[in-house]
């Protein structure tokens, strides 16, 4: 049987192609016409912006009334809001494009110089500049702009995500990193103001409600945690490789493991400043000794004044041997013994700045024969302000050594104490006598020295037993051992006497350490 011919076989492929091309040509020709019509309609619509607002409002109301159905009226309102939103966003985008183009034409500096200028800004100002226009934003994304990151605040505003973003932007260009809460202006007198602060204290100082902040930010999302330094060791430690300065302030959730992990990623560190972190002195110095051989400045202020007595002599020896370039050392608020302090001060041959302010157990014995030896003779600044157990006789010996010609490079000396100096036999007895401490003679012999020796007026010292009674009466939390002033007070005195009278004796280090041991009662009382 013969096959029936296909009815479409007579239609050639060329005719189909011609029809398709004609349709495409017609659509293409209509497209410019539609765009032109939309442009004209939009121009007419925008001309209404010059009309009074009441006129447009009444016209829109009449248009709504022309639709009897409530659903149609709602649809018309939604379309008006949608069209207004579309026009608003389009206007903003066009404004940004014009501003960026204008800035690129009128901005006098080329991009490389702009990046150099941005690198000199603080982190907050850099973020403001980046939000100005797309040209500035592009320049602000250069890693050189984030070489020195400063995210310190008075109240909690920065979280881990912000720190991570900034470190990632910096990459290997990161040279300086400052994090945490820096307390605002304080009423503490003198140049050695404490930098330790808590999150709640910082919020109170700024007259800001902690509860409001939690509700607005959500579950303390603006608080740095122990993992805030993890980006330094990420990407095979690229970010921390060239880091020169690391300064951490009052990050309450930081622990020893996290800090030591961060230090292990910073082999080029030159400047380390730690304030108010709940980390142990010994572990921190061990980590510095192992990972930061180039360090030149170390500033460490305890979060719990007088309670950290973890430092051991081998740790001091290792630090001296492994970090020979150290020129500035500040250990404030720790429980330090003279034998360990002497290892540090005498061991660092380039040491020129020393600050042991508010430290406990330092009597001043470590200063003997220090000014003329190979270690300590380069000291330019020596600060022993408010050291609870600093003895009057040791301060007198120090000043006599200065008069005799020792400490030739010394330019600043601070031995001030708001409670007076400890007497030779009993630190309970606070004293200061101008006949013993030759301040006037020092100023005459060494007029180039700035000597700070601020003490209470002679004869105005508070009796230590009265201080105990007043503290107990003021409902300050003290350990139960201090509840009986008679028995506990006497044992407390005998402990301090045996401890500090042993300073003059000689012997091995282990025996000295045992003699320096103090009861937990004493430590707690000194903290209060």
The token pair at 400 is 């006599």
Helix (H) or strand (E) holding 155: none
Would you put residue 230 in left (φ > 0), alpha (ψ -120 to 50) or beta?
alpha
Strand, helix or coil for residue 157: coil
Cβ contacts of residue 409 below 8 Å, gap of 6+? 352, 377, 378, 379, 380
Cα 362 to chain centroid distance, Å, stands at 29
Residues in the chain: 528
| Model pTM score | 0.67
- Measure the CA–CA gap between 354 and 382, rounded to whole angstroms: 5
The pLDDT score that the predictor gives to residue 508 is 35
The residues, ordered by sequence, that sit 6+ positions from 472 with a Cβ below 8 Å of its Cβ are: 478, 482, 483, 485
Q: Could you tell me whether strands 353-355 and 176-181 are parallel, antiparallel, or unpaired per DSSP bridges? A: unpaired
At 29 the pLDDT is 54
Q: Are 292 and 272 in contact (CB under 8 A)?
A: yes
pLDDT at 309: 87
Residues of the chain with pLDDT under 70: 1-32, 100, 103-104, 184-221, 236-237, 371-375, 427, 458-528
Q: How many CB atoms lie within 10 A of CB 134?
A: 15
Vertex 249 angle, CA 246 and 252, to 5°? 120
| pLDDT of amino acid 26 | 52
For residue 30, give both structure tokens: 């209509």
Run of H or E including 51 = none
Q: Under a CB-based contact definition with an 8 Å cutoff, are residues 263 and 244 in contact?
A: no
Question: DSSP state, 437?
Answer: S
Q: How far apart are CA 327 and CA 297, in angstroms?
A: 6
Contacts of residues 126-133 at CB distance under 8 Å and 24 or more positions apart, as own/partner, are 133/96, 133/99, 133/100, 133/103
* Token couple for 258: 């996290």
pLDDT value of residue 308: 84
81-103 residue pLDDT tens: 988 889 888 888 888 777 767 76
Cβ atoms of 153 and 130 closer than 8 Å? no
């Amino acid at each position: 049987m013969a096959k029936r011919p296909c009815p479409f076989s007579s239609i050639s492929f060329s005719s189909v192609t011609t029809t398709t091309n004609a349709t495409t040509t017609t659509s293409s020709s209509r497209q410019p016409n539609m765009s032109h019509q939309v442009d004209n309609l939009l121009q007419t619509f925008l001309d209404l912006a010059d009309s009074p607002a009441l006129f447009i409002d009444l016209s829109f109301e009449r248009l709504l009334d022309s639709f009897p159905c409530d659903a149609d009226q709602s649809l018309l309102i939604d379309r008006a809001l949608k069209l207004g939103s579309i026009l608003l966003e389009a206007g903003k985008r066009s404004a940004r494009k014009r501003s960026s183009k204008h800035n690129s034409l009128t901005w006098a500096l080329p991009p490389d110089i702009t990046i150099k200028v941005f690198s000199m800004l603080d982190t907050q100002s850099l973020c403001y500049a980046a939000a100005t226009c797309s040209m500035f934003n592009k320049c602000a994304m250069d890693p050189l702009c984030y070489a020195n990151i400063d995210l310190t605040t008075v109240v909690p505003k920065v979280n881990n995500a912000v720190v991570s973003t900034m470190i990632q932007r910096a990459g290997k260009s990161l040279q300086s990193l400052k994090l945490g809460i820096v307390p605002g202006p304080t009423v503490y007198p003198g140049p050695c103001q404490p930098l330790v602060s808590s999150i709640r204290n910082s919020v109170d100082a700024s007259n800001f409600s902690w509860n409001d902040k939690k509700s607005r930010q959500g579950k303390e999302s603006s608080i740095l945690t122990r993992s805030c330094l993890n980006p330094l060791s990420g990407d095979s430690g690229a970010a921390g490789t060239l880091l020169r300065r690391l300064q951490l302030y009052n990050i309450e959730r930081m622990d020893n493991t996290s800090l030591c992990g961060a230090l292990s990623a910073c082999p080029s560190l030159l400047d380390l400043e730690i304030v108010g972190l709940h980390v142990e002195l010994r572990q921190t110095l061990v980590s510095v000794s192992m990972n930061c051989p180039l360090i030149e400045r170390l500033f460490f202020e305890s979060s719990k004044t007088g309670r950290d007595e973890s430092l051991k002599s081998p740790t001091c020896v290792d630090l001296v041997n492994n970090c020979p370039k150290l020129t500035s050392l500040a250990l404030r608020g720790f429980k330090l013994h003279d034998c360990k302090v002497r290892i540090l001060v005498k061991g660092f041959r380039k040491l020129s700045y020393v600050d042991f302010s508010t430290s406990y157990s330092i009597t001043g014995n470590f200063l003997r024969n220090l000014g003329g030896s190979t270690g300590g003779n380069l000291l330019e600044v020596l600060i022993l302000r408010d050291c609870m157990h600093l003895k009057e006789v040791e301060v007198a010996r120090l000043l006599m050594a200065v008069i005799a010609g020792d400490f030739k490079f010394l330019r600043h000396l601070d031995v001030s104490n708001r409670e007076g100096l400890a007497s030779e036999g009993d630190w309970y007895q606070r004293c200061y006598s101008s006949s013993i401490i030759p301040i006037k003679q020092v100023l005459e012999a060494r007029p180039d020295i700035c000597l700070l020796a601020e003490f209470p007026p002679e004869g105005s010292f508070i009796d230590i037993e009265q201080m105990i009674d007043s503290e107990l009466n003021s409902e300050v939390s003290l350990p139960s051992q201090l509840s009986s002033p008679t028995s506990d007070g006497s044992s407390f005195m005998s402990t301090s006497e045996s401890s500090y009278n042993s300073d003059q004796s000689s012997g091995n280090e282990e025996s000295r350490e045992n003699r320096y041991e103090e009861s937990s009662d004493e430590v707690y009382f000194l903290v209060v």
